[in-house]
Amino acid sequence: MGIFKSGGSKSRPAGGKTIIAAGCKINGEIKDLDGALHIDGHIDGVVETDYDVSIGDEGIVTGLIKAKTIVVSGTLEGKVACESIDILATGKLLGEVVCGEMMIESGGKFIGESRELTEGGLIVSFPENEKQKLENQARSVVEMIKNQASIMDDLQPSEAEAVKSK
């Protein structure tokens, strides 16, 4: 089985799956994939594809995702546009979602805002200034949540219950 065309360029069968392995970190953009994307590593940036994206239990994505369907078992922080999204029991999504259909399994977490996908279809691209603004907002929300969790961890059990009941 050859992996190169006669012209010397790499060839990959249409519909192949791209895997970002655990321990791998990518900063930047992933676009124009020929098939599904599975993430066990860390992506900080933009993912735009017409195919499915899945985030494994240890996978982390910070930034923007546009995909056909998204399955979250790990952590997703940022803005999402898709036809459907499933947040599984181990999944956590912090941010803004524009989708046609959303499913959250028992134990899955969604902290943010969701809007229904309009008749016009998926967002084609994210303007550069919007990307930066949303990435900064996502980081601010994550830091705020981490700070609140840290404060709650430092409280005595009776103090924590008093704060939760307010």
Using 50, 70 and 90 to split pLDDT, how confident is the model at 103? very high
Q: Is 92 helix (H, G, I), strand (E, B) or coil?
A: strand
Strand partners, 109: 92
DSSP state of 54: E
| Cα radius of gyration (the chain) | 18
Q: What is the pLDDT of residue 25?
A: 95
92, pLDDT greater than 50 = yes
Q: What is the pLDDT of residues 44-86, one digit of tens each?
A: 999 999 999 999 999 999 999 999 999 999 999 999 999 999 9
Q: How many residues does the chain have?
A: 166
CB–CB of 101/83 below 8 Å?
A: yes
Q: Where are the domains of the chain?
A: 18-164
pTM of the entire predicted model: 0.65
Which of 25-29, 42-46, 86-90, 136-140 has the lowest average pLDDT?
136-140
Write out pLDDT tens, residues 124-164: 445 566 667 767 776 776 777 777 767 666 666 665 565 55
Q: How far apart are CA 125 and CA 121, in angstroms?
A: 12
Reading the block at residue 115, the tokens are 């809007």
pLDDT at 4: 41
pLDDT for 11: 44
